[in-house]
Every structure is written in C-alpha cells, then in structure tokens.
Structure 1
Amino acid sequence: MRRTTAALGIIAATLLCSACSRSPRVTYYTLTPAPSAGAVQQSFSSSVAVGPVTIPELVNRPQLVVRLTPSRVAVLEEHRWAEPLKNEIPRLLAQDLGPLLGSNRVFTYDQGSGAAAQYRVLVDIVRLEAVPGDSVTVEAGWVVRGAGSARREGRAVIKEKADGSDYDAVAAALSRALAGVSAEVAKSVRSEAFGRK
C-alpha cells in the first residue's frame, strides 16, 4: 500500500512539473514618454490635470490586441501590458505634455495636485489600432477646460509606423502615436491659455 501511495505521489509530482514546464511564457510591455525636444519658447506656469481618459473597450484588457484583418483581431495571451492602459495612458500623456508646455505642473487627474489644476484635459480615445509589422493608429478627441466656462476642443488621428514585426515595435509605435496626440493637446492648452485662435 505504501509503495502504491509513493508511486502515485511521484506520478502526480511529475505531471505537475510537466504542466508547469509547458506553461506559456508571458512578456510584459510598457509605454515610454517621448524624448524631450528641448526648451519651449514660452513656459507655461499654470497647472494642468490630464484625465479622465477613455479608451475603447476592445483594448481595455491586460492582453495586447492586434488587428489581423478589417474584421478580425487577435487577443495575445502571452503578450500583456504591465499595467492597465486606462491608467498608463493618462500618465504618459501628462509626462509628454510637461516638456511640450515647458511646465513641471502637469499631473494626472487622480493625483492630489491634479484635482485643483487651473486647466483640465479630458481625452476620449475612440480608436487604438495596432497592425504588427505595419503601423499603430490612435484617433482621439479632447476638451481643454479653463477658468469658468472656457473650453477648447480638438481632434487628431495619428499613425506611426511599427518598425519591426515584434510586439516591442507595437508598444514603441503606440508610445510615439500618443506623443503625437500630446503635441496636439499642447497646442489646444496654449491656445486656451493665451487666447490664440
């Protein structure tokens, strides 16, 4: 009886180890802020809060989602975002906006300093599409709210080439596309602040 129990234990342990060794290896990705392009001509002293930022439900998940055909996508179980995009994108936009505005007072709305900001940027990302080996497209609309009822709206479609067939290239292209959105948002913030058309 003891030999049978021991043999069953060994078989169970072997099967468990075998199952573990076949588990797929998951790779995690993050977004990266744009490199600073240098000092801006006119610094921005007011505080800015970014958020909330909405994203399509299709990509609001841990896995990378890529477009295979116009009517088919793939949800990649073995390639995941290190944190939810709905949290990472607002932080990335804030990081990109700071240097563009020449300000160290750009926050995400959920940070303590963001709640009392003089300007607030609400962003609605309506399309976030990645085609491996080809490009990443981000389509976004935003509203900049200033003092009182002042507001300025904008919209942009930014397409970035994915330089490579791997998913690192997809993450890098998405970071660049979001930097492009930040550049357009910065123009709206400055227009609202300085009264430019």
Structure 2
Amino acid sequence: MRSGALFTMTAGVFAVLVAGCASSPSSRFYTLGGDAAPAAASMPASFYVEVPPVDMPPQVAKNQLVVQTSPAQVQVLEQERWASLPADEVRRALSADLTRQLGAIDVYNTPRPDSVPVYRVKVNVQRFESWAGSQAVIDAVWSVRAVGSQAVLTCRTVAQQPVGAGYDALVAGHRKAVDQLAAEIAAGVREVSAIPAPAAAAADGASPAKSQAKLRQPVAARPLPCPVASASASAPAN
C-alpha cells in the first residue's frame, strides 16, 4: 500500500516537472549576419584589411538583448538573445561588409604576404542602443591605419535607423546601422590607401645608414577628410 502511494506521488511530481518544462518560454536567437557571402576573388587582392575585435559598452556586452525603456533605464530580455556576443556579431558583420565593398580580404589573425598593403580598422562602439518600435543606434569611433605607416585616420559615425514593431525589426535596424558604419569605414580605407608610400631609399646617394635613419623618422600625416556624416581627426601615430 505504501509502495503504491509512493509511486503515485513520484509520478505526480514528475508530471508537474514535465508540465513546467513544457510551459517554459523558448529563447529566440538573432544574428547580424545572414547576407550572401561575397564571391571569391579571381585576381590577387591589391590590399588587405584587418578587423580586430570590436570594443562594446559593458552594459550591452551580453547575449541577452538589452532594450532602452528610457534614457536612463534598460530592460534585459532573457528570451531574446544574440547568437553570439554583440561585439562578435558587429565584428563579423563589419568584416563581411568591408570584404564585399572593398574587394579585399580580412586577414585578422591570419598569415599574409608582406608585399601586400594592410589597412587595420579599429572600432570602438560607444553606444549600442535598442529602442523597440523606434530606432536602432550605433555610435562608434573608428580608425584606419596603413600597417607600417605613421598616419592614422580617426572618425566618428552615428548611425540611427528607424525600426518598426518587433524584435526582428530591431535587429534588422542594427544590421542597417552596421551597413552604414561599414560604408563610411570603406570610404576611409580608400582615402588612406590613396596616400603615396614613402620612398624606400634616399635618391641623393646617401649612405645606407643615413637612408635607414631617414626611414625611421616619423612622417607627419596630411589631414584626411572623414566620409560625409562622420566627424574627423587625422593625426600622426604616437
């Protein structure tokens, strides 16, 4: 009799647990990727880009979507999640956009030939705001530097994209904001790539030691304009 009662109680507890699991809301996962992959280049690349990890504000550096409910308040959504951390999502989307727009290859963390110029892109996202049913905002300071050059182009892009209702629309708004950011960075890469490379040696017959000393001297950067809608600061590297 006691065994039957124990079996009935155990079965009841199991049924409650199963019902609880069945009623738990499932998580939805979003990504900033999804565009068609660029076609493989048939010609050797004239230059490479290097897109290292993106800096992201700590308050949104989590898998859950963080939405603004007021200028001073946010809500963390447990069931609405990024497929990877937002910094990874932005970096991957930027890399894909720049690869497509510039016809270049992202060689971050990849061996590469020394004979091909490399343009390093650094992005510091200062605001990554999600206003559900209103707008998606990415405010980023970014720089482009030709590896081995003394010049660096530093700009700021504020991308604000209106969005409709729903979290799918909000994520799509962030994707458009990344597209805008990538377009301005691509223009910056083209601007920096137009700077003539310094001469490899002195043309006046100077000794090799003097020529090497000249090559080691910092070369002042000429002012470079940022793309339209970006704030600008161009300066020699430290």
TM-score range, shorter chain: 0.7 to 0.9
Paired AA for residue 56 in structure 2: I
Q: TM-score, normalised by structure 1?
A: 0.87
Partner Cα separation in structure 1 for residue 182 and residue 94 of structure 2:
6
- SS of residue paired to 2:46: coil
Among candidates 104, 110, 114, match of residue 112 of structure 1: 110
Q: In the TM superposition, what is the alpha-carbon distance from 1:150 to its structure 2 partner?
A: 2.4
Partners of 2:83 and 2:182 in 1: how far apart? 22
Task: Give the number of equivalent residue pairs.
Answer: 187
Displacement after TM superposition at 1:22 (Å): 2.1
Task: Work out the CA distance in 1 between the residues paired with 2:46 and 2:135.
Answer: 36
User: 1:67 & 1:179 partners in 2: Cα distance?
Assistant: 22
Structure richer in strand, relative to its length: 1
Moved over 4 A (4+): 33-36, 113-117
Could you say which structure has the greater relative contact order, defined with CA pairs below 8 angstroms and 6 or more residues apart?
Answer: 1
- Cα distance, 1:171 vs structure 2: 0.5
Output aligned runs, 1:77-88, within 5 Å: 77-88=78-89
8 Å contact kept, 2:53–2:88:
no
Amino acid at match of 2:110: G
CA-CA distance at 1:149 after TM superposition: 2.2
Residue 150 of structure 1 corresponds to 151
Matched residues, percent identical? 32
User: For the residues of structure 1 that align with 2:84 and 2:14, how far apart are their CA atoms?
Assistant: 34
Q: Corresponding residue for 1:61?
A: 62
1:133-179, Cα deviation, whole Å (9 max, x unpaired): 111111001111212322111111011111x2100001100000011
- C-alpha displacement of 1:113: 4.5
Q: Partners of 2:155 and 2:189 in 1: how far apart? A: 10
Q: Classify 1:33/1:5 alpha carbon distance in 2 versus 1 (closer, same or farther; 3 Å).
A: closer
Q: In the alignment, does 2:163 pair up with 1:168?
A: no
- Distance in 2, Cα, partners of 1:45 & 1:33: 27
Determine the C-alpha separation between the residues in 1 that align with 2:181 and 2:192: 17
User: Does residue 184 of the first structure (1) align with residue 202 of the second (2)?
Assistant: no
Q: Deviations over 1:23-53 (max 9, x none)?
A: 12111111136679xxxxxx97211111221
2: CA distance, partners of 1:115 / 1:156? 32
Aligned partner of residue 73 in structure 1, secondary structure: strand
The one-letter amino acid of 2:69's match is: L
Contact between 2:54 and 2:90, CA under 8 Å: does it hold in 1? yes
Deviation at 1:7, TM superposition (A): 1.1
Q: Alpha carbons of 1:192 and 1:33: their partners in 2 closer, same or farther (altered >3 Å)?
A: farther
Equivalent in the alignment of 1:133: 133
Higher alpha-carbon Rg? 2
Q: Which residue of 1 aligns with 2:199?
A: none
Partner of 1:40: none
Query: Whole-Å Cα distance in 2 between the matches of residues 58 and 183 of structure 1?
Result: 26
